[in-house]
Amino acid sequence: MIVPALLTKEKSEFLRMLEICAGFTDFVQVDIMDGEFVASKSITQNDIATTKSETGSEAHLMVKEPLKWLDAFKTFGAKRIIYHFEIDQDHTAIIEKIKAMGFEAGLAVNPYTEISDFNYLVDAVDSVLFMSVVPGFYGAKFIPEVLDKIQRFKKIYPKKVAAIDGGVKFDNLARIRASGVDHVCVGSAILKDPDPAAAYLKFLKLFNE
């Protein structure tokens, strides 16, 4: 599964991205940044809460307070909430709240977070999102060592959905696929391409060959 990742701080640009993606996919990732957990900021809670999407979606919350975003994404129509392991909060309580509101729960882990750090949470979540860049910006540098971590993870948890996010390009997709990952989130390589639909279809073809 190739998942276009939408990252912007302008609501008008976000709506434009949603409209473009609706023409070629039925599922997207909405990237949210608070300027605290990561340095950059994205669209706001109000931007999300005042938008209703017919396209299936997940939220990737690069924020210190993920629970503050749940109501907005419920209104938006998201299916899955992904939050970061690296925040200093009660993970069990966060996962329980996400599920209580009818979402799937996903755990995102930064490039240098080890499996042994978060393995006690794997059974409680529906998916794990492996960051292959230091999060917060479109176009950040890909960290190939993350692929080894995904391979190890899939050997331990073969039935758990594993996704990768960050720095995905046509020229590293074969290595990414070989890691055993299930979902690939692609941001700038699709949304900043002159023809996003053609770029998406090329990624899909290459990933499923």
CATH of the domain at 81: 3.20.20.70
**Catalytic-labelled residue, pool 34, 47, 126, 165:** 165
Please choose, from the candidates 103, 105, 158, the residue with its C-alpha nearest in 3D space to the C-alpha of residue 129: 105
Task: Classify 16 as helix, strand or coil.
Answer: helix
104-109 vs 127-131, strand pairing mode: parallel
Q: Which two tokens stand for residue 36?
A: 């605290």
Place of tokens 């990561």: 38
Annotated catalytic residue within 31, 34, 47, 126: 31
* Mean confidence (pLDDT) of the chain: 95
Q: What is the mean pLDDT of residues 52-72?
A: 97
**Domain interval for residue 63:** 2-207
Number of domains observed in the structure of the chain: 1
Q: Summarize pLDDT for 96-145 with one digit per residue, the tens.
A: 999 999 999 999 999 999 999 999 999 999 999 999 998 866 567 899 99
Is residue 88 part of the annotated active site? The answer reads no
pLDDT of residue 138: 58
- Per-residue confidence band for 85, with pLDDT thresholds at 50, 70 and 90: very high
Could you confirm whether 165 is annotated as catalytic?
yes
84, with CB counted inside 10 A (0-12, 13-18, 19+), is: buried
Which neighbouring-strand residues pair with 58? 29, 80
Rounded to two decimals, the pTM is 0.96
